[in-house]
Structure 1
Amino acid sequence: MVDTAPTRNGCYHVNRKLLPIKAFYFFFLAAVGSLLPFIAIYMKSLGLTSSEAGILYGVMPFLGFFIRPIIGAVSDRWHKHKLALILFSVLTGVFYLLILAIPARVYPRLVVHSQLDCNVHDSYFQDCVSLSDKSVDPSTCDIGLSEFADHFSNSSSDFNCSVRCTEREDSVGDEVGACFTDSTEPFRKHCNGSSVANKPIEFELLNISHVLNNEVMSSRITMGTLHCRDYDLKSLRFDSKQYWQLLCDTAGFFKCEIKCETPPKQLCQSHTHEFDATFFWLFLVYLIANLVFSPVFSLADAANFDTLGKKHHKFGEQRLWGTVGFALLAIASTFTMYMMTNRGSSVDYTVPFYIFTVLCCLAGGSAYFMDLSSNVKCGSFFQNFLTLVCIPKVAVFLMVVTYFGMATGAIEGFLFWFLLDLGATTPVFGLSLVINCLFEVPMLYISGKIIKRTGPVPCLYLALLAVAVRFLGYSFLHDPWLVLLIEPLHGVTFGVMWAAASTTAAILAPPGMSATMQGLVGGLHFGIGKGAGSLLTGFLFDRVGERVTFQIYAIVSVCLLVLYFVLNHFVFKSHLTPQSSPDTDGKSDQSQENVPNDRPLLASSHAIPDKMCDGHPLPEMNHA
């Protein structure tokens, strides 16, 4: 038996019985921080579309909503909570590691066709297409420069392209002499740079946007079904040297192939590739990984409350170590990927998977040293479910909580996807996670004072407004680094929101149903809401675009804010006042509860709520 008495080493007070709990939260949430924020963009690197990623990322929270209470009930029945916690922690690491065995979807390399017109004054690509022509076979991924430019206009990322031009067969006259030069004067008798003659002209475009953003609009013409566009040619590299432009000693006309190494993948994607072997294998492995992952937090919380005994108010002190682990490994994992990317052309995601597996095993090892009683319980998630949702005020509140979950699913699943399309590098991802934590934790600590002064429902109004501003800000981003100015709002959209939602749930819960209410709030937010948000966002990204999707969320947030305000003030005609919220010292009104200590501690400025900046819930508060 582990000594439960605190020991004193110098000025530090250590409770040895609680060390395994702290270690478990640290290691497991460190694992979460090292990998899970990047799962959506890893799916993107495998070649999945946003719709497919939305399905994969969205279905899993639904399953967790139902699997978690089933596993908890089985553990309660056989009193094997420690064994279940160890087993599911280790299996989580193993099955996530198996995702690496799934091969990426292979798309053909993009080849862009155009015509190069070159003379003594300048050179430019001229792209003429017949509007009646059908698209080229998508399996070849051969497109015209105009089509490429239209796709590229939706992305601010940039990349190099190689160009190979041969003189057109219908060209007449003498051979054309080409000159790569930095001179801005017309071509003279001698080339002031590097000359090319009697062979195909091959060079690199250092910055494709230099071409696409310098379309000569005055030269755009449409004659019948023929549509022509000209693009000024600048910023070239020939024979390992950089030049400003290409000139020719006489008028020349060339047909060119432009091959780009890392173009936007959607250009080479076709819906005929969706839901192939890559998708279904990933769905299967990811499904199993999430099934074993889903009950871990409920089991850990049950063990935590059992170990604490009557000192439930110290729950946050143990859970805080998980936040520390999450933040540290999110930073470490991000910059590990960044350093490895400098040695290659693409981000290497393999290291976070290995780190995740090792940390999950260490978490399982920590669980082995937990000293649990035979009375530990995981609670009943679906108890009195229908009774609660049939109360109008409760039903509307749960609808609002579910929407907050949808917003969480949209941000966690697709914000990094969007930033990657803007050309973001891995430090942007890591710093955004750090800012989330830095602003969330202080807001959680002061949320109790805010709720006591204003009441919990006004805090939900504020959170809805902050969600609207946050999504609207995303929709206008062009520089991915500017997202760091928006992410502090996470302190309000989750920190204040979750404390207010948990407090509101405690106040609205009928006598004896506080634990069920808290479990329902957590399940709807992190299960149904998060899953629905991921599915919907993936679909909208694919159909209406990323910016419009974020604007839709902003509009819906404002509409829900107005609706919730009107219902509370003119229909229900009763308010949750600051005086009716739980006391800020974490004590509860026992007159309305049949189970002691059933009120949440979330309104307290000294307590940490069920979910920290790692993005995962602790859905039931009454485990003991």
Structure 2
Amino acid sequence: MQPVPTDEPLPHEVPLPAAEPTEGQNRGQRANEFLRFLGGYFDKSLNIYKLFYFFFFAAFGSVYPLMAVYFKQLGMNAAQAGALIGIRPLIQFFAAPFWTGLAEKWRKCRLILIVSTACWLIFTVAIAIVNPAPFGCLVESENRSTEVVVAGDFDIALSQRKRIINNPHERWSQMVGENPIMLDKAGQPGLAMPRYSTVVYSTAEIGKAFVIILFLMIIGEFTSAPANSLADIATQAAIEGKSENYGRQRMFGSIGWGIAMFIVGIGLDLSTTFFKHPCRFPAEREKNYIMCFATFTLFMLCALAVSTQFHFDNDAPGGAGSEQMYLKVMKDKFRDSVINRGRTMKDRGRLDEDGNPEPLHEEPGGQSIKGTDEQILEQQLGIHGLQHQQQPGDPQKQQEQQNPYSTEGATWQFRTWIRVLPVYLNPRLGAFLFVTFFMGIGNGIVFSLLFWHLQDIGGGPTLFGVASIVNHISELLAYMHSDKLINSIGHIRVLYLGLLANICRFLFVSWVERAWWVLPFEFLQGLTHAATWAAVCSYISQNIPVEARPASQGLLQGVHHGLGRGLGAIFGGLVTAKY
């Protein structure tokens, strides 16, 4: 009899039960997973980009969040400070795509990156040099009456008066938001004194300083605008299309900003010594902001040095990266022409159906390159000579013309923005674009005037540094878990939560009377900015055609970071100065 077939395995085929991993193996597995996790964040080949983001944003965080209180100490009002701060993102909105497009067209991305980073350094340091000429000092006499003493009488004033007023903010503490304090002196109208200083300026001198700094802001921002965009282009090329790795590099910018702001905040509280103060002795809460500009210079010099090591694939020959590629291609060409000369010469005689030579070389992607060795070398290096320009019938050229959303080069070019605007005629997408703009206005008000307001209610630079740390920790946590939040409650509800948190945050800041109580609500920064921004970008990406996504994301960033933040700072300054 034949044995009845059965599906049961034979005894020698029965798999043995898997052994339970020991505790040591579990620890080793967890350690390996942790090391692989860290490897994604600390890839040595990407360290140059991490360093640039860290130094660049550490420099930015050393001085620009404090610009409002710095201008306040120069005697400017909230409208002037808001205009100076708001003009930057507005100029960037137009200048960044302009310069990035030229960098791609001229193939000078690294050169323009270096020049723009140097412009950050030059024009920011120039702002520190501009100061209104002091008119005099406010002093208090023996009968406790105040008097403005002109500059030529400083020595006499110090010998005849008891002391300089060290706490003028106590006398005018009810004037929250107002700056400067207008003073009256017989025969000399238009005198003003910053709230936390004893130096008296004429309003005409303050106006002159405002105009000069505004000019420096416009020129400086126009020339330095492409630095961040070009760094993003180089980073995205280096990560080879892995979008999650971009956030891991960009994260170091937030770390640098938070650390620098915290250190500078503590240092400012200790920087009460002036090399040459107009009134000999500073007021109690007067700070020496030269320390901020010095820290900015140090970090930006480091960022400038790092930027010289960036490599752009489409740059013209002459850089280090181009030279290495040239040597590699020449080596391959020599090998093909010497070792495989017989086969190569034999293949050269073959023609395709159109009568053209058969392709001799293949690109890594599988695309063939035709032509002479010189033409092949030029194509591999990205060099297009006059004799090898594309003809009108070139398929690649026709494909670019057929794709209206082509974003080769700068993804923020205006032509792609204009072509993608009809997509936002959809009511839902248009509402998201408006909310993005509205959030930018709120962020512009917070960035420009939050520290101004906290200083008025008793806050100091240490509080500013701690608040910055809280903000960035909140943002990092929100970005790390934003996908889970969006998947669990949806894009619309995340947007609702963000707008509601914005309302609570603004109302609380306006009601609080003790500056340090603002910290718990500063932790909402992650929800009011990071989570909502992630929800907006994710929603737009899922509801817009694939070919239009790069342009739509560029438009979102321009509307939010450019128009929204710029107009928010200007609008907030005007409202504060008026009401």
TM category, shorter: 0.5 to 0.7
C-alpha RMSD of matched pairs (Å): 3.5
User: 2:454, 2:235 → 1: CA distance?
Assistant: 37
1:42 to 2:77 alignment: no
* Preserved CA contact (<8 Å) 1:32 1:326: yes
Match of 1:528 among 563, 566, 569: 563
Which position in structure 1 is the counterpart of 2:89?
61
Please give the alpha-carbon distance, in whole angstroms, between the structure 2 residues aligned to 1:102 and 1:273: 14
Q: Is the 8 A contact 1:110 1:263 kept in 2?
A: no
- The aligned counterpart of 1:238 is none
Are 1:369 and 2:309 matched, yes or no?
Answer: yes
Aligned-pair CA distance for 1:507 = 2.4
Q: Which residue of 2 aligns with 1:355?
A: 295
* 1:426-465 pair list within 5 angstroms: 426-465=461-500
Q: Would the alpha carbon gap of residues 210 and 105 (structure 1) be closer, same or farther in structure 2, given more than 3 Å must change?
A: closer
Counterpart in the other structure of 1:294: 225
Alpha-carbon distance, 1:103 to partner: 1.4
Task: Check the 8 A contact 2:258/2:468 in 1, yes or no.
Answer: yes
Structure 1 equivalent of residue 576 of structure 2: 541
Structure 1 range deviating more: 459-468 or 275-284: 275-284
Cα deviation per residue 1:108-130 (whole Å; 9 max; x = unaligned)?
A: 545799999xxxxxxxx9xxxxx
In structure 2, distance between residues paired with 1:51 and 1:368: 39
Residue 33 of structure 1 is aligned with which of 61, 71, 91? 61
The answer as to 2:117 corresponding to 1:92 is no
- 1:313 equivalent among 229, 236, 244: 244
**Distance in 1 between the 2:536 and 2:298 partners?**
35
User: 2:83–2:573: 8 Å Cα contact kept in structure 1?
Assistant: yes
Q: Is the 8 A contact 2:113 2:307 kept in 1?
A: yes
What amino acid maps onto 2:225 in structure 1?
S
8 Å Cα contact 1:29-1:326 kept in structure 2: yes
Spell out the pairing of 1:48-127 with structure 2 (5 A cutoff).
48-104=76-132, 106=134, 109-110=137-138
Q: Which amino acid aligns with 1:316?
A: G
Matched position secondary structure for 2:410:
coil
8 Å Cα contact 1:94/1:357 also seen in 2: no
Aligned to 1:323, what secondary structure does the other structure show?
helix
Aligned equivalents of 2:121, 2:164: Cα separation in 1: 44
2:59 partner letter: A
Rounded to whole Å, the distance in 2 between the matches of 1:540 and 1:267 is: 26
Q: Distance in 2 between matches of 1:22 and 1:399?
A: 33
Per-residue CA deviations over 1:42-80 (Å, capped at 9, x if unaligned) read: 111111111111111112211111111111110110111
- Aligned equivalents of 2:96 and 2:204: distance in 1? 34
How far the C-alpha of 1:354 sits from its partner, in A, is 2.1
* 1:371 CA drift (Å): 3.1
Match of 2:530 in 1: 495
Q: TM-score scaled by structure 2?
A: 0.65
Give the Cα separation in 1 of the matches to 2:530 and 2:170: 44
Shift of 1:92: 0.7
How many positions carry a matched residue from both structures? 415
TM-score after normalising by structure 1: 0.60
- Give 1:440 deviation, angstroms: 1.5
**CA distance in structure 2 between the aligned counterparts of 1:338 and 1:313, rounded to whole angstroms:** 39
Q: CA deviation at 1:394?
A: 2.1
Asked if 1:467 is matched to 2:499, the reply is no
Give the aligned partner of residue 511 of structure 2. 476
Distance 1:105 1:321, change over 3 A: same
Alignment partners' CA distance in 2, 1:99 and 1:513: 40
Q: Alpha-carbon deviations, 1:171-215, whole Å to 9, x = none?
A: xxxxxxxxxxxxxxxxxxxxxxxxxxxxx997999988998999x
Q: Rate the CA distance shift 1:457–1:63 in 2: closer, same or farther, 3 A.
A: same
Q: Residue 301 and residue 464 in structure 1: after superposition, are their counterparts in 2 closer, same or farther (change >3 A)?
A: same
CA distance in 1, matches of 2:254, 2:300: 15
Amino acid at match of 1:86: I
Find the aligned partners of 1:275 and 1:15 in 2 and give their Cα distance: 50
**Secondary structure of 2:459 counterpart:** coil
Structure with larger Rg: 2
CA contact (8 A) 1:406 1:533 kept: yes
**Residue range with higher mean Cα deviation, 291-300 or 528-537:** 291-300
* 1:20 and 2:48 correspond: yes
Distance between the aligned counterparts of 2:109 and 2:129, measured in 1?
31
SS of the residue 1:341 aligns to: coil
| Range with greater deviation from structure 2 (384-393 or 275-284) | 384-393
Between the aligned partners of 1:370 and 1:201, the Cα distance in structure 2 is: 60
Letter in 2 for 1:318: Q
- Tell me how far 1:339 sits from its aligned partner: 1.9
Alignment of 1:132-147 (within 5 A): none
Separation in 2, partners of 1:339, 1:366: 31
- Cα shift at 1:414: 0.4
Distance in 2 between residues matched to 1:282 and 1:210, nearest whole Å: 30
Shift in Å, 1:261: 9.5
Q: Which amino acid in structure 2 is aligned with residue 377 of structure 1?
A: G
Give CA-to-partner distance per residue, 1:310-351, whole Å, 9 cap, x none: 323211111122122112211122222222237864211112
- Pair 369,163 (structure 1): closer, same or farther in 2 beyond 3 Å: closer
SS in 2 for 1:513: helix
Q: Answer yes or no: is the 8 Å Cα contact 2:61–2:260 preserved in 1.
A: yes
Q: Would the aligned equivalents of 1:341 and 1:348 in 2 still touch at CA under 8 Å? A: yes
Alignment correspondent of 2:392: none
Q: In the alignment, residue 487 of structure 1 is paired with which amino acid?
A: E
Whole-Å separation in 1 of the counterparts to 2:199 and 2:504: 31
Displacement after TM superposition at 1:395 (Å):
2.1
- With over 3 angstroms needed to count, the CA separation of the structure-2 counterparts of 1:418 and 1:139, relative to structure 1, is farther
Distance 1:314 1:407, change over 3 A: same
Specify which structure has the higher proportion of strand: 1
Counterpart Cα distance in 2 of 1:209 and 1:56: 24
Shift of 1:416: 0.6
Q: CA deviation at 1:16?
A: 3.8
Structure 2 Cα separation of the partners of residues 163 and 380 of structure 1: 59
Deviation at 1:268, TM superposition (A): 7.1
Q: Which has the higher helix share?
A: 2
Equivalents in 1 of 2:171, 2:90: separation in Å? 46
Q: Give % identity.
A: 27
* 1:275-322 CA-partner distances (Å, limit 9, x unpaired): 721111111112222223321111111000111113232111111221
- Equivalences for residues 589-604 of structure 1 within 5 A: none
1:300 & 1:486 partners in 2: Cα distance?
33
* Counterpart-to-counterpart distance in 2, 1:335 and 1:213: 24
Determine the structure 1 residue equivalent to 2:267: 336
Q: Deviations over 1:77-99 (max 9, x none)?
A: 01111111111112211110111
409, 413, 420: which one pairs with 1:381? 413
- Secondary structure at the residue paired with 1:347? coil
Letter in 2 for 1:482: W
Partner Cα distance (2:64, 2:162) in 1: 43
Evaluate the alpha carbon distance shift between residue 444 and residue 380 of structure 1 in structure 2; reply closer, same or farther with a 3 A threshold. closer
* Residue of structure 1 aligned with 2:438, choices 385, 396, 403: 403
In 2, distance between residues paired with 1:370 and 1:21?
8
Structure 2 CA distance, aligned partners of 1:205 and 1:274? 22
